[in-house]
Amino acid sequence: MHVAKPLPSYLVQRYQGWRATAYSENRAWYKRLATEGQRPRAMIISCCDSRVHVTSIFGADQGEFFIHRNIANLVPPHSPDGLQHGTSATIEYAVTALKVAHIVVLGHSSCGGVKGCHDMCSGKAPELEQDSSFVGRWMDLLRGGYEKVQSLPEAEQVLALEHQAVLTSLDNLMTFPFVKDAVESGALSLHGLWHDIGEGSLFEYNAEHDRFSVI
């Protein structure tokens, strides 16, 4: 026996709507996806934030994107220590098993995780420093980023740290040997994006000029 309740009826209704329309119109395609397996072209690493709707933004259809979502779209560095690394597992699977051609790291504005990291690193959130804080320990990944932005004017720091979350992930991705090999052989490319929720705009990291510029 496991603790669980029936699905709330508003979700049941919506599911039935989906089944009667989108599924029903594409039944053959779904059956093929089920039989032949997935063959996604890209992996997206984005935040869990309910306002970041990667499938909408990229007009995604079933079968197109392998999507990992965590707090603040962070990738930890390669660390083959035999412990559990959920994010590293998604990257390994995407690159070595699915052989995706692109990995897109998608950051966003007013990210609660990044804000928490900024509060923690600037001494405003001591509770996040505790061992028992999973959010705090996860945001440790961005401490190096904080060091890079702390000399900026206060008002610019959080946005800069949101950019750092994307850049940290890009850098950590390259510490995975299978990622580095695939990038160097041209089989895989990495992309860093930052999304402004209110403006609906998208900025991409431009390696040549080392800054984010609007698309």
Instruction: List, as residue ranges, the binding site for Zn(2+).
Output: 47, 49, 108, 111
Compute the C-alpha angle 187/188/190, nearest 5°. 160
Residues 176-215 that bind its own copies (CB under 8 A): 182-183, 186-193, 196-202, 204-207, 210, 215
Strand partners, 214: 203
Q: Which of 21-29, 118-126, 149-157 is the region at the interface with its own copies (rule: CB under 8 A)?
A: 21-29
Determine the residue type at 159.
Answer: L
Among 114, 121, 125, 138, binds its own copies (CB under 8 A): 138
> Given the structure tokens 């934030």, which residue do they identify?
49
At its nearest, how many Å lie between its own copies and the CB of residue 160? 14
* Interface size with its own copies, residues (CB under 8 A): 128
- Tell me the chain's radius of gyration from C-alpha atoms: 19
65 counts as binding its own copies under rule CB under 8 A:
yes
> Contact between 148 and its own copies (CB under 8 A)?
no
Q: Which residue reads 């599911």 in tokens?
A: 15
63 near its own copies, rule: CB under 8 A = yes
Tell me which DSSP letter residue 198 carries: T
Minimal distance in Å, beta carbon 154 to its own copies?
Answer: 20
Q: Is 152 in the site for its own copies (CB under 8 A)?
A: no
**10's tokens:** 């508003």
Task: With residue 206 as reference, give the H or E element that holds it.
Answer: strand 201-206
Answer yes or no: are the C-beta atoms of 128 and 71 closer than 8 Å.
no
- Rounded to a whole number of angstroms, the minimum distance from the CB of residue 26 to its own copies is 6
